[in-house]
Amino acid sequence: MPPLGRVWRLPDGCEPGVMRLHQRGGGDPAYRIEDGRHWRGIRTPHGPATLVVWSRAALGEVHAEAWGPGAAWALGSVPGLLGADDDPAGFEPRHPLLIELVRRHGVPRVGRTERVMEALVPVVIEQKVTGREAFAGFRALVHRFGERAPGPGADRRLWIQPDAETVRRVPSWEWLRMSVDPARGRTVVTAARVAPALERTLAVEFDEAAARLTSLPGVGRWTAAETLQRAHGDPDAVSFGDYHVAKDIGWALTGEPFDDERLEEFLEPYRPHRGRVQALVARAGLRRPRRGPRMPPRTHLPATPR
């Protein structure tokens, strides 16, 4: 299967590292990084595809190749995936630490996959559980109901998420076997039933997209924001409701952890770029010290990893 390939000269900050937001843990079956090359298994509107993206910084170029029925679509998505459609103009880092982080790292670019279900499904699985549980549940879903990525993706054990019709038919006991409780399983299945409508949220303004997402039972503010960050490329989406985000941003900028209310007040002057503050702090690896015991994984579900 011969690949399709393209080369771009993209704006500053549009480099393959932007794609890391889409990686679901080190064992993500749909994402690999090998020798600086980022590999993704994608279910495009035209079928499955394997995409690999890498940069040649000395030449100022981004290279990509793709295989499979969706190869042309996957290649066409690369500039948007790396943030070329994002406009960071107007972002003013007012805090001294943010000014320094921008000096070191530049203004974060926000990419978009334009695949809403691809972003939403793993986010729902991550609701209110430890990262270990979430990543294990997502891997189980992909391995049991997904498919191998085409071309060299298969050689790299790269997978593609199951399509919405397949997810819709996953029975309740299978979700339990994957260590996904009934509430999260129902939310994913409900989303799969209205998948075409969810994909249409890409054509509306970010606020309207958030309203449509949160109208779905089981999808709240955090789930919508995490989806908007990835699928829609919303630079204002902040993960309010996350166990760590508010605390880490507050600790990094003031030395004291924030709650969501205080974080919202702090970020208000940064509209419509509030998500860039979250991205800057995360990119710098700044987080409050973790002194307490870690939350243990639950043991009452049949397939809970130990």
Tell me what percent of the residues of the chain surpass a pLDDT of 70.
Answer: 94
> How many whole angstroms separate alpha carbon 233 and alpha carbon 205?
11
The pLDDT of residue 291 is 64
Q: Which amino acid is at 67?
A: W
Q: pLDDT digits over 206-257, tens only?
A: 999 999 999 999 999 999 999 999 999 999 999 999 989 999 999 999 999 9
The pLDDT of residue 292 is 54
The pLDDT of residue 95 is 95
Encoded tokens for 120: 């939403």
Q: pLDDT digits over 195-215, tens only?
A: 999 999 999 999 999 999 999
The pLDDT of residue 301 is 53
Evaluate whether the domain defined by 4-93 bears CATH number 3.90.550. Answer: no
Residues 4-15 have a mean pLDDT of 95
Q: pLDDT digits over 92-120, tens only?
A: 999 999 999 999 999 999 999 999 999 99
When the candidates are 3.40.1370.10, 1.10.340.30, 3.30.390.30, 1.10.10.10, the CATH number that belongs to 116-220 is 1.10.340.30
Residues 126-144 have a mean pLDDT of 94
> How many whole angstroms separate alpha carbon 278 and alpha carbon 280?
6
> Domain map of the chain by residue range?
4-93, 116-220
> How many whole angstroms separate alpha carbon 67 and alpha carbon 103?
38
> Which pTM value belongs to this model?
0.92
- Tell whether the model's pLDDT for residue 18 goes beyond 90: yes
The residues near 73 (Cβ < 8 Å, ≥ 6 apart) are 44, 45, 46, 49
The pLDDT of residue 286 is 86
The pLDDT of residue 2 is 82
Per-residue pLDDT band at 304 (split at 50, 70, 90): very low
Q: pLDDT digits over 69-97, tens only?
A: 999 999 999 999 999 999 999 999 999 99
